[in-house]
Amino acid sequence: MRSQSEYGFFYQPKIMSGIAAMENIPVELDGFNARHPFVITSKEISSSGLVKKFVKALYDSNTIIGALYDGVPAYAGIALIRELAQFYRDRGCDSIIAIGTGSIVDAAKGINIIVSTGKDVLEFEGKNTIAGHLKPFVVVPTANIAPYDLTGFAALEGKELVSDYLFPDIIAIDTRMIRGCCSESACATALVSLTQAVEAFLSPRSNHLTDAYASMALRIIADHIVKAVKRPRNKKASMAMANAAVASAAAFHNQLPGPVHALGMALAKLTGHLPGLCMGALLPAALKFRAMKKEPFRSDLLLVIEGADRYAETAENDRANKGEAALMNLISSIPGIPEGLFSLKVPRHTAGEAIALVATKESALKKQDLEELITMAL
């Protein structure tokens, strides 16, 4: 494990995971002196019966839902967020609960900015522009957790907002709510978590705490990813992968975005593919590129992926190579992982656009390296 004398680490949410996680939400909100949450979700989630399960979990509490809106679309625009912020005020709400992922969570973050600051959400575009705590905010994931749901990042109409104050205060992972809808979505979600964990673990800026979260995520993923993708409605595997998503998000937030994550998000934006599938198409090439550049793999990668027995029986000078092989084997075992960008039919000019997009935003990533990585993945 790496040792750094100076480092910083921040992860805001209190994590509750298990059979009755939702029943504990009122207790946690009470600690914020909040008892009238504004609940937002989508028609799809509402019609699936998950909202009824959530409401039932609050029956025996002093929490009274102030308002419930179940019309968040796949793309939540600023106009809708402003309307919902006014709805929040009109109904006298004091907190926000997002049931679901992706645009639902982004919309909740946008609403929270408006009702907490009294200003328009677009005034806070950029990094660290929010100066204080927002209203209590709870996320109840359902499935297919999006890349930034559990971090201090929000994307609203192409505008990016990044702040420690945008984190959920509470993440409630409940066995009644976590169900993958299909193998492709389960695969895409798992590949986001895997990418975040791998890039955080192998980062030269990693520290004791990022290692703890990234290695936990990698261990869970190694044990459960195949079953979670093959059987997305399996309770145990789905819950395990949801917990891995939380752990990988914590590690990821405390590192600079790696090339696979940054390029994957850019390609998803340009092509409409799920971000995880884009990352999965890039990840094997990135590991080969790393080996080609003779950037060392960590010997304890073998320990994390294959366990203490395998690590102990492997010669010390061979552990880094075996760890690299173990990671590549894990990736190749994932059902449905794209075999390079060509399998996603990504044209070369679109890949070039993604490189330009990332190179202008992420100064730590060299354009030449991004071009070589893309070439290897095409």
Q: Are residues 133 and 258 in the same domain?
A: no
Q: Which residue segment(s) compose the domain that 162 sits in?
A: 14-174
User: What pLDDT does residue 363 have?
Assistant: 64
In a domain, 214, yes or no: yes
Q: Are residues 82 and 193 in the same domain?
A: no
Q: Alpha carbon of 77 to those of 108, 251, 312: distances in Å?
A: 12, 29, 53
| Per-position pLDDT tens, the chain of length 378 | 555 667 889 898 999 999 999 999 999 999 999 999 999 999 999 999 999 999 999 998 999 999 999 999 988 889 999 999 999 999 999 999 999 999 999 999 999 999 999 999 989 998 889 989 999 999 999 978 888 899 999 988 888 899 999 999 999 999 999 876 678 889 999 999 999 999 999 998 899 999 999 999 999 999 999 999 999 888 899 999 999 999 999 999 998 889 999 999 999 999 999 999 999 999 999 999 998 888 888 999 999 999 999 999 999 999 999 999 999 999 999 999 999 999 999 999 999 999 988 877 776 788 899 999 999 998
Q: 57 and 32 in contact (C-beta within 8 Å)?
A: no
Q: Alpha carbon of 101 to those of 139, 178, 221, 277: distances in Å?
A: 8, 11, 20, 17
Residue 29 three-state SS: helix
Q: Are residues 133 and 216 in the same domain?
A: no
d(CA 312, CA 334): 26
Q: 46 and 70 in contact (C-beta within 8 Å)?
A: yes
By C-alpha distance, which of 29, 312, 14, 49 is closest to 150? 14
In a domain, 9, yes or no: no
Q: Which residues contact 249 (CB under 8 A, 6 or more apart)?
A: 149, 150, 151, 193, 196
CATH number for the domain that contains residue 164? 3.40.50.1970
Q: Are residues 205 and 354 in the same domain?
A: yes
Q: Which helix (H) or strand (E) segment is 87 a member of?
A: helix 78-90
User: What pLDDT does residue 232 have?
Assistant: 86
**Domain end point (choices 140, 174, 208):** 174
Q: Are residues 211 and 328 in the same domain?
A: yes
How many other C-beta atoms lie within 10 A of the C-beta of residue 209? 16
Q: Are residues 160 and 241 in the same domain?
A: no
Domain count, the chain: 2
Q: Are residues 40 and 155 in the same domain?
A: yes
In a domain, 8, yes or no: no
d(CA 113, CA 94): 13
**Domain end point (choices 174, 205, 222):** 174
In a domain, 152, yes or no: yes
Q: Are residues 31 and 166 in the same domain?
A: yes
Q: 210 and 200 in contact (C-beta within 8 Å)?
A: yes
In a domain, 4, yes or no: no
In a domain, 7, yes or no: no
In a domain, 3, yes or no: no
By C-alpha distance, which of 6, 3, 24 is closest to 14? 24
Q: Are residues 208 and 352 in the same domain?
A: yes
Residue 34 three-state SS: coil
Q: What is the model's pTM? A: 0.92
Q: Are residues 56 and 155 in the same domain?
A: yes
CATH number for the domain that contains residue 193? 1.20.1090.10
Q: 167 and 151 in contact (C-beta within 8 Å)?
A: yes
Q: Are residues 273 and 206 in the same domain?
A: yes
Phi and psi at 22, nearest 5°, equal -65, -30
Q: Are residues 103 and 207 in the same domain?
A: no
User: What pLDDT does residue 219 have?
Assistant: 96
d(CA 53, CA 333): 35
**Domain end point (choices 130, 155, 174):** 174
